[in-house]
Amino acid sequence: MAVEKTFFLETFGCQMNVHDSEKVIGTLQQQGYSQVETEEAADLILYNTCSIRDKAEQKVFNRLNDTKKLLKQGKRFGVLGCVAQQEGEAIFERAPYVSLVSGSASYRKLPEMLARLEAGEKRIAGLDDRQTDETFETEFTARSNKYRGYITIIEGCDKFCAYCVVPYTRGKERSRTSTSVLAEARRMAESGYTEVQLLGQNVNSYRDPEGKRSFAELLAAVAEIAGIRRVRFTTSHPRDFTQDIVDVIDAVPALCNHVHLPVQSGSTSTLKRMQREYTREQYLERIGWIKQSQRPISITTDIIVGFPGETVAEFEETLSLLETVQFDAVFAFKYSPRPNTPALVMIDAIPDEEKGKRLQALLDRQREWQRANYTKRIGQIVEVAVEGHNAQRGQVNGRTSENITLNFAPSGPILPAPGSYAQVEVTQSFPNSLVGRAV
C-alpha cells in the first residue's frame, strides 16, 4: 500500500503569488500529494513568499523558526517564491532544516525537485536567473474559487523601477502564447467559470510570441469565449497603456468597467527618480483616454509616499493628482528600501514619522473623494456577481463590474447562489463599499 504524502502551503503577497500557489498545489496533487490544513498534519511544509514589502524576509524566517519544532516529527520544509529567489541558498545557512528553495521561475521543475526530495536529498535549489524564457504552464491548477479564476499571461518584469525588487526575483518579461492562454480560458469556461482575470506584473506589456494578437486583441478574444461573462486584467503599467485598451473595453461588453493603473507619485521629478519611464502629464493623458470612454470606467491606483528625496511640494503634487483623477480606490504605502534595488544608494532622509503623516494625509484626502464618488452611485441599477452571504445581516455579498464590494438584500426568501449574477439598485454608500437591494 502506498504511503500517503501530505503537504501544507501558506501564501504571502499578491494575486500573482495566490495564483502561483494554485498551480503549485495542482502540481503537487498530480504528483500524489494531498493538501492538509495545518503544518502539524503535513509531511511537507511550504511557504510561498513575497518580498515587495519591508521585513518580508524576516516574516518568513520567523515563521520557519516557529514551526521548526515540528522537525522531530520528520517533516520537511520548503521556501518558494520571491524571498526564495532573493535570498537563494543563503536560506539553507540561516535555516538549515529547509530542504527546498525555489523561485517562481523554476516552478516548472517542481515534479523533478519533488522526486529528488523523496529520494532523500537534503538541499534542493531551483533558482533560475533572469534569462530564462520558460513560463510555468500546467493543466493541473487547483483553483480556490469555483466561478472566478486567474490566468497568468506574462511573467517577470523588465521595468526596473528604482524601488522594486520584482525584476530580480521573477526574472525577465516572458509572455505565453495567445493560443495557450485562450485554451486555458476555454477549459475554465467549460468547467463553469464565468469570470476570468488576466495577470501579469505588467499585464499590458504582453507580447504574443506567436505574433497573432496584441494585448487588447487578447482581451477581446478571451471575452468572446462562450460562458465567460466578465474579464478583468491587472496590473497595468502606464508606459504600455495604449488607447486601444480603452477602445476594446468600449467595444466588448464582457470586459469589466475597471482599470488599475499604478501612478506611484503625482510628481514628474519623483517619477524620474523612481525610474517609472513616464511623466505626470503622460499619466494624465492616459487617464483622459479612460474618462472619455463611452462607458464609465472605474480607475484605481497604487501610490508610494516618502520615496527618497520627495519634498513637501512633490508630495502636494500627488495630493493634487488625487483631486484631478478622483480614483475609486487607492492602495498607498510608505517607501521601504528593498534588496538589490537602485534606490538603495539614494539617501532615505525622510523620517518614518513624516512618511506616516504623509500616508495618513493622502488616505484622508482619498477617503473624501471616494465617499463622493460612491455617493453618486446611489439610485443606479448595477449587475453584481454574487460571492457569498452574511446570514446575520440577511445580506448577499458581491462585486460590481467596477470591482466595488456591494452588499444587498435579496428580492425573496431564496438567496442567490455564489457564482450567479443579480441586478441590484444601490441604496446607500460607505467609503469602501455600497449597499443595495435586488430588483
- Per-residue model confidence (pLDDT) at position 1: 43
Chosen CATH of 5-126 out of 3.40.50.12160, 3.40.50.1240, 3.40.50.300, 3.30.300.30: 3.40.50.12160
Residue 135: pLDDT band with limits 50, 70, 90: confident
* pLDDT tens per residue across span 144-162: 899 999 999 999 999 999 9
Q: What percent of the chain has pLDDT over 90?
A: 85
Query: Letter for the amino acid at 128?
Result: D
Q: Give the tens place of pLDDT for each residue, 405-437.
A: 999 999 988 889 999 999 999 999 998 999 999
How many Å is the maximal CA-CA distance in the chain?
A: 71
Burial class (CB in 10 A: 0-12, 13-18, 19+), 38: exposed
pLDDT tens for 216-227 read: 999 999 999 999
Of 328, 330, 241, 308, nearest in space to 318 by CA? 330
**Domain spans of the chain, in order of start:** 5-126, 145-256, 289-376, 381-438
Q: How far is it, in rounded angstroms, from Cα 73 to Cα 95? A: 17
Neighbours of 149 (CB within 10 A): 22
Residue 136's pLDDT band (cuts 50, 70, 90):
confident
pLDDT of residue 2: 53
With a CB cutoff of 8 Å and minimum separation 6, the contacts of 339 are 51, 86, 165, 168
What's CA 249's distance to the chain center, in Å? 21
In the predicted model, is pLDDT for residue 11 greater than 90?
A: yes
Q: Does pLDDT of 362 surpass 90? A: yes
Mean pLDDT of 272-277: 98
User: Would you state the pLDDT for residue 181?
Assistant: 98
CA distance 322 to 328: 10
CATH architecture of 145-256: 2-Layer Sandwich (3.30)
Q: pLDDT (tens digit, 9 = 90+) per residue, 69-85?
A: 888 788 999 999 999 99
Residue 286 binned pLDDT confidence (cut-offs 50, 70, 90): very high
Q: What is the DSSP letter of 255?
A: B
Would the CATH topology of 5-126 be identical to that of 289-376?
no
For 179-195, what is the mean pLDDT?
A: 97
What homologous superfamily is domain 381-438 in, according to CATH? Nucleic acid-binding proteins (2.40.50.140)
Task: Please give the Cα distance from 104 to 112 (Å, whole number).
Answer: 15
* Residue 422 and residue 386 in contact, taking contact as beta carbons nearer than 8 Å: yes
* Cα–Cα distance for residue pair 216/213, rounded to 1 Å: 8
- The pTM assigned to this predicted structure is 0.93
> Which residue, chain included where needed, has cell 502629464?
281
Angstrom distances, CA of residue 13 to CA of 73, 150, 204, 375: 29, 15, 21, 31
- Give the CA radius of gyration of the chain: 23
17-28 b/e (C-beta count within 10 Å ≥ 16 → b): bebbbbbbbbbb
Please tell me the class of the 289-376 domain. alpha beta
pLDDT at 57 over 90: no
